[in-house]
Structures are given as structure tokens and as C-alpha cells.
């Protein structure tokens, strides 16, 4: 370590103690009440997903036709249907009632967090990793590399995302999801998918394919954001200083550039999580998402919307769960943005 480097590292260490960006941001974050509530709800959702087997009174696929379509008695007076007691079973067997197969809606919503949350987080994580690496390379090296890499992003951007995801899902589902002879790529994907599903405690959800479909379409925005940030950063004096003391490209990117651009990138991805969750919900809604009997809020809303006239309780609770999750992530994302970059407060 040269004298300069040691001096520089001591300087940064002292600076960090005085105004640690992250500690400062955290303090600002918990002072923001909406963001705090959002964060607590997200924390609660994560705990729900982890402890789903302990929280849910029944297994999500368990049910019998005798208990089908029961309306919880505490809810019945509030439903906008006058004669509901004339055709529906109203009792206290299920907290949120049961669906047409007699499965407990509450348990299915609880297990549904194991679909929605991983999709949201994995979408954000894939976008962050691919987008950051791509954007860093493009922005840092500039010139022709940058030109070609950004043209590719432009082309991907012109793809209608929703159509691309539908196509990808149809492709993945029929190519990879079927059992094939060992040794092929499709078989490998199929095995990885089984591991992912087992890890999440779901029987045959096909979660990997949803991760892939969303991840493949989500990284472009992040790549653009990271590139833009680097372009404005790489001309700064401290990068030049790092160059003069002989730091390599990798070291400069990882130690000097990344910490400075991570804040806006994390904020952008937190605000993008509701979008990813929404994609999965939509895919399950049209039947291209998770496979039955895995409970997705999207497929529950789809089932519920078919019987909205007679059994509105079936759609009410999954829709509520989805909306609350969206609110929580939006509040948390807004709060994170204000906390990490106070200048941005109140914009978009």
C-alpha cells in the first residue's frame, strides 16, 4: 500500500464515521411515517412468507367439496347482496371463507406471499445485477462499446414488454416444464425449477420460469440508469485521482463508482417491485403464471372475478392483499428515495 493510498483510505474511513450515507439515510427513512409503515408491512409480508406453514391453518391445496364456497359470517352483512343466505353457506369455519374447491382462502393468501414476494425481489435482484454490470461496462468504457451496447438496449426497449413476457412464458412452459431425457438444457432448467419450487415450499409452481421471464425483460431500464450515472461520475476528480495512484478499472468501478451510484439504483428497483409483482399477478390471471394448485393472488383474483356476482368474498381478500402489498412497496420506495437523495424530494 502506498503512502497516498493509506492516506486516502484513512480519510475515507474518517469521512464515513462522520457522515455515513447509509446511517444518515436510515435515520431519514424511519422519520418518514408513511415509509416506516410501508417498511413494516413489507417486513410482515416477508415473515408471513417464511412462516407460512405455521400461520396458515390449512395447507393451500387441501379442501373438500362439502366446505366449498362458504362465506364467513362476520362478512356476510357487509356484502352488497341481500339474499346471500338463501344460497350460500355462511359459517365460521374459515376466516376469509373458502373457494369453489373448499380450500381456505386465508391459507391460500398466506402461501401466496411465497409467490408474490420472491417474484418481486428476484425481479429487482436480476434487474440490478444484469443492469448494473451491463450499464457499468457500457458507461465506463464508452466509445464504440457504449454505442453498440446501448443500441441493443434501445432495440429491447422497443419490444412491447407485456407481449414479450406472454410469449416467453408460453415458450418456457411448453419447452422446459415437460419432463425430458437428462442431459438437455431443457432438462437442466426443469431440475433447477424443481429445486426453486422445493425451496419455496410449493408443489410444482414453475417459479423459475416466471423469474426468468420477468428478469429478461426488466434489466434494460436499470442498464440505462447505471450508464447515465456513470457517465456523469467518471469525469469527476476523485476518479481521476484513483487513476493517478494506479487503481485498475475493476477496482475503480467496484470501489469508487458503484458505492456512488448504488443509491439511485436501489431506489429505482424498490419502486419497480410492484411492477414485477403485477406482472406475475397478470400472468397467473390469464393462466400463464404459476401452475395449479400453487396459490397466486393473480389466479385467485381470476377465479374470484368469475363469481363476483354471487360470491364476492372470493375476490375481495386476494385483491386487498395485493393492494396492500403495492401500497407498502410504493411507500417504502418513495421514502427510500427521499432518504437517499433529499434533493429528489417531491419529484415524480
Partner 1 sequence: MIPVLIFISIVTFGLAHGVPGGPFDTEKKRPPEIRANLEKYYGLDKPIYIQYLNYMGNIITKFDFGPSLVQRGRTVNEIFAAHLPVSAQLGILALLVALLIGIPLGIVAALKQNTFWDYLGMGIAVFGVSVPNIVLGPLLIWIFALALGWFPVAGWGKPSQMVLPSIALGLGSSAIIGRLTRASMLQVIREDYIRTARAKGLTERVIMVRHALKNAFIPVATVLGPMFAALTTGTFVVEQIFAIPGMGKYFITSVTNRDYAVVMGTTLLYAVFLVIANLAVDITYAFLDPRIRYT
Could you list the residues that contact partner 1 (CB under 8 A)?
80, 154-155, 158-164, 166-168, 170-171, 174-175, 178, 274, 278, 281-282, 285-288, 298, 301, 304-305, 308-309, 312, 315, 319, 322-323, 326-327, 330-331, 346-348
Nearer to partner 1, 10 or 345 (CB): 345
Q: Kindly give, in sequence order, each residue whose CB lies less than 8 Å from that of residue 312, ignoring residues fewer than 6 positions away.
A: 79, 80, 81, 304
How far apart are CB 6 and partner 1 at their closest, in Å?
A: 44
Please count the helices (runs of H) and the strands (runs of E) in the chain: 14, 2
Please, which residue, 233 or 326, has the CB nearer to partner 1?
A: 326
Minimum CB distance to partner 1, residue 294 (Å):
18
| Least Cβ distance, residue 342 to partner 1 (angstroms) | 15
Closest approach, Cβ 129 to partner 1, in A, equals 22
Distance CA 76, CA 284 (A): 28
| Among 267, 272, 301, CA closest to 284 | 301
- Closer to partner 1 by CB, 284 or 294: give it: 284
Cβ–Cβ under 8 Å, residues 293 and 286? no
Q: Decide whether 242 or 340 has the Cβ nearer to partner 1.
A: 340
We find the least distance from the C-beta atom of residue 48 to partner 1, in angstroms, to be 19
In the complex, minimum distance from the CB of residue 267 to partner 1, in angstroms, rounded to a whole number: 15
Three-class HEC string of 268-292? HHHHHHHHHHHHHHHHHHCCCCCCC
φ, ψ for residue 6 (rounded to 5)? -65, -40
Cβ closest to partner 1, residue 50 vs residue 150:
150
Considering the complex, state which of residue 93 and residue 310 has its C-beta at the smaller distance from partner 1: 310
What are the backbone angles phi and psi of residue 311, rounded to the nearest 5°? -130, 70
Minimal CA–CA distance to 249: which of 139, 167, 328, 346?
Answer: 139
Amino acid at each position: 500500500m502506498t503512502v497516498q493510498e493509506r492516506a486516502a483510505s484513512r480519510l475515507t474511513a474518517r469521512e464515513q464515521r462522520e457522515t455515513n450515507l447509509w446511517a444518515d439515510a436510515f435515520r431519514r427513512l424511519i422519520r418518514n411515517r408513511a415509509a416506516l409503515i410501508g417498511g413494516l408491512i413489507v417486513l410482515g409480508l416477508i415473515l408471513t412468507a417464511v412462516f407460512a406453514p405455521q400461520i396458515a391453518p390449512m395447507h393451500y391445496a387441501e379442501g373438500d367439496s362439502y366446505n366449498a364456497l362458504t362465506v364467513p359470517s362476520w362478512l356476510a352483512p357487509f356484502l352488497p347482496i341481500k339474499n346471500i343466505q338463501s344460497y350460500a353457506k355462511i359459517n365460521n369455519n374459515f376466516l376469509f371463507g373458502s373457494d369453489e374447491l373448499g380450500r381456505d382462502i386465508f391459507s391460500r393468501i398466506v402461501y401466496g406471499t411465497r409467490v408474490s414476494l420472491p417474484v418481486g425481489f428476484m425481479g429487482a435482484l436480476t434487474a440490478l445485477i444484469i443492469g448494473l454490470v451491463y450499464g457499468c461496462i457500457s458507461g465506463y468504457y464508452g466509445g464504440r462499446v457504449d454505442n453498440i451496447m446501448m443500441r441493443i438496449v434501445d432495440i429491447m426497449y422497443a419490444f412491447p414488454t407485456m407481449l414479450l413476457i406472454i410469449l416467453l412464458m408460453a415458450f418456457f412452459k411448453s419447452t422446459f416444464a415437460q419432463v425430458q431425457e437428462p442431459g438437455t438444457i431443457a432438462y437442466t432448467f426443469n431440475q433447477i425449477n424443481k429445486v426453486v419450487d422445493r425451496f419455496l415450499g410449493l408443489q410444482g409452481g414453475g417459479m423459475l420460469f416466471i423469474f426468468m421471464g420477468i428478469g429478461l425483460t426488466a434489466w434494460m431500464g436499470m442498464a440505462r440508469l447505471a450508464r447515465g450515472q456513470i457517465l456523469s461520475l467518471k469525469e469527476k476528480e476523485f476518479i481521476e485521482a484513483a487513476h493517478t495512484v494506479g487503481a485498475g478499472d475493476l477496482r475503480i468501478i467496484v470501489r469508487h463508482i458503484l458505492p456512488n451510484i448504488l443509491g439511485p439504483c436501489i431506489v429505482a428497483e424498490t419502486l419497480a417491485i410492484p411492477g414485477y409483482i403485477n406482472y406475475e399477478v397478470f400472468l397467473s390471471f390469464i393462466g400463464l403464471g404459476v401452475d395449479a394448485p400453487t396459490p397466486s393472488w393473480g389466479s385467485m383474483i381470476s377465479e374470484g372475478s368469475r363469481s363476483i356476482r354471487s360470491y364476492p368474498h372470493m375476490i375481495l381478500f386476494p385483491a386487498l392483499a395485493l393492494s396492500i402489498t403495492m401500497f407498502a412497496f410504493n411507500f417504502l420506495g418513495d421514502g427510500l428515495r427521499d432518504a437517499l437523495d433529499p434533493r429528489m424530494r417531491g419529484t415524480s
